[in-house]
Amino acid sequence: MDGSVLYLAMPSITSAITPTTDQALWILDIYGFVVSSLLIAFGNLGDRYGRLKFLLVGAVVFGAGSVGAAFSPNPEVLIVCRALMGLGGATLLPSGLAIISNIFRNPKQRAQAIGIFAATFAAGFAVGPIVGGLLLNRFAWGSVFLINIPVVVLFLAFAPVLLKEVREASPGRVDALSVLLSAVGILLTVYSVKSAAASGFSMSQLLIGAVGLVIVVLFVRRQFTLEYPLLDLRLFRDRVFTVAILTGLLSLVAWAAAGYLSGVYLQSVLGHSVLASALLAVPGAVVLTVTCVGTSAIVDRVGKRAALIASHFAMGVGLLLMLFAGVGGGVAAFIASTMIAGIGYGLSFSLVAETAVAAVPAERAGSAASIAEMSNELGNALGISLLGSLAAVCFRLLGPDLAGTLGETLEAPGITAAAAREAKDAFVSGMHVAIAVASALSLGLGCLAVRWVPRQAAAE
């Protein structure tokens, strides 16, 4: 709910606290970067010290960050609170998935349970914007963060009663240096990309990016030398597992970029209200939810290989339909795009998680789940920062050069109708470029899966 609400709330946030282009992107993706930086570490810590304990602590931290975000007076405070929410999210995601895998030891039941688990995310995407739209029509933008609080309160009330503590029998030492390297490397690399999109290339920006990439390489090399690696790279020897994790990464890259850009498109270009934009997204979210729940049955009929391949081509084709959305209209193209791409998203969300936890012993489920969730969260953050930045660069090059974002441009004093039309045209062009890249990545990975994943996987 939180992520999908934020996409629709960004125009209201921009009007209220006027973040810069760079700050707006950080508000959207700092959560994902904090989560992706810490997921592996927290998954390992949950395996060692207790997953239920991490769930409870994470819920408290997430709730506190949500309250802080709701009452943030400026962009800087909102970014910090979103980062705090990411800290809580990093404890919640891998431990939740690991507990499910521990409850359902039967492979078929586990696959069905994980499909339902993934469907709750899709349901949140559908319900969040509707609830958020109703709130934004009546209350200030900060109210959209308060929808997290009832969920957190209910979880804290029932989790200690319904869930049991689970931990690894023989925990290994958590490598603090690996935690530091992964977090710093990811943040520096992405900060460099975001800076280039917002302000252009510079010597300092390139240096920061180079340092980030070097740190990421050092992190990967270090994992091969550790008895208890933070990221178990041996799992990637399984080609099905590797393609599944890449699927998790790219599906969220595509979903996040399309969700963010189409939210701005529906509101700022076509002029729909927040609530109307949310309702237009419901058909795609319903398809996504149903597909998540039905993925286990689909895999039983066609096999994991065919399902993985189908997810990429459904996403790729669905995204291409957004190229028919223009300044003069595009609601039908948007709905068709989200429904077809929703089939691909639904397959990928369930397959990535199920493949990850099925590939390892139950006592290591938290670590495997961390890799799956890391691919999702990193994809979510990269989709907004990389493809969002690509769209921002196009807007900066093609637009009237009055402001850094479409919302700021349309609100500029004395803007003419011609300049407003030019700004909308520039935004749509940037959106088309970013979504075309996302589609190409999805179709490319689909072709790789056809060649790379062995046919024997169809029977798994």
List the structure tokens of 413.
Answer: 């004093």
The percentage of the chain sitting over the pLDDT mark of 90, rounded to a whole number, equals: 29
pLDDT at 198: 59
Q: What is the CA radius of gyration of the chain?
A: 21
List the structure tokens of 32.
Answer: 């994902």
Please tell me the distance from the alpha carbon of residue 99 to that of residue 56, in angstroms, as a whole number.
13
The residue among 6, 8, 11, 5 whose CA lies nearest residue 27 is: 6
Please tell me the distance from the alpha carbon of residue 253 to that of residue 390, in angstroms, as a whole number.
13
pLDDT at 379: 78
pTM for this one?
0.77
The pLDDT of 400-428, averaged and rounded, is: 88
Answer positive or negative: Cα dihedral of 158, 160, 162, 165.
positive
**Is residue 164 a contact partner of residue 52, using CB atoms and an 8 Å limit?**
yes
Please tell me the distance from the alpha carbon of residue 268 to that of residue 403, in angstroms, as a whole number.
14
Amino acid identity, residue 103?
I
What would the pLDDT profile of 316-332 be if each residue is shown by its tens digit? 999 999 999 999 999 99
Cα–Cα distance list, 56 to 44, 52, 59, 163, 229 (Å): 16, 6, 5, 11, 26
Q: Which residues pair with 329 in a beta bridge?
A: 326
Please tell me the distance from the alpha carbon of residue 234 to that of residue 371, in angstroms, as a whole number.
12
List the structure tokens of 235.
Answer: 């799992």
In this structure, the dihedral spanned by the alpha carbons of residues 191, 195, 196 and 202, taken in order and rounded to 10 degrees, is -100
pLDDT at 210: 95
Q: Which residues pair with 326 in a beta bridge?
A: 329
Q: Is 439's pLDDT higher than 90? A: yes
**Is residue 134 a contact partner of residue 11, using CB atoms and an 8 Å limit?**
no
Q: What one-character DSSP code corresponds to residue 405?
A: S
pLDDT at 330: 94
List the structure tokens of 162.
Answer: 């319904």
Cα–Cα distance list, 155 to 185, 198, 267, 326 (Å): 33, 39, 34, 43
Is 218 exposed, middle or buried, given 0-12, 13-18 or 19+ CB atoms closer than 10 A? Answer: middle
At 214, the pLDDT band (50, 70, 90 cuts) reads very high
Please tell me the distance from the alpha carbon of residue 269 to that of residue 421, in angstroms, as a whole number.
9
Please tell me the distance from the alpha carbon of residue 206 to that of residue 451, in angstroms, as a whole number.
36
At 423, the pLDDT band (50, 70, 90 cuts) reads very high
The percentage of the chain sitting over the pLDDT mark of 70, rounded to a whole number, equals: 90
Please tell me the distance from the alpha carbon of residue 194 to that of residue 183, in angstroms, as a whole number.
17
The residue among 114, 2, 107, 6 whose CA lies nearest residue 59 is: 2
Beta strands in 38-177 (DSSP E): none
At 243, the pLDDT band (50, 70, 90 cuts) reads confident
Q: What one-character DSSP code corresponds to residue 329?
A: B
Please tell me the distance from the alpha carbon of residue 237 to that of residue 428, in angstroms, as a whole number.
41
List the structure tokens of 419.
Answer: 């300049």
Please tell me the distance from the alpha carbon of residue 41 to that of residue 174, in angstroms, as a whole number.
8
Please, what is the average pLDDT of the chain? 83
Q: Is 265's pLDDT higher than 90? A: yes
Q: Is 458's pLDDT higher than 50? A: no
Please tell me the distance from the alpha carbon of residue 425 to that of residue 451, in angstroms, as a whole number.
39
Q: Is 378's pLDDT higher than 90? A: no
Q: Is 459's pLDDT higher than 50? A: no
The residue among 374, 379, 393, 381 whose CA lies nearest residue 82 is: 381
The residue among 215, 211, 210, 208 whose CA lies nearest residue 182 is: 215
Taken as a whole, the chain contains a residue count of: 460
Q: Residue 90 CA to chain centroid, in angstroms?
A: 13
The pLDDT of 49-64, averaged and rounded, is: 88
What would the pLDDT profile of 284-323 be if each residue is shown by its tens digit? 988 988 898 888 889 888 888 888 899 999 999 999 999 9
At 180, the pLDDT band (50, 70, 90 cuts) reads confident
Please tell me the distance from the alpha carbon of residue 460 to that of residue 302, in angstroms, as a whole number.
10
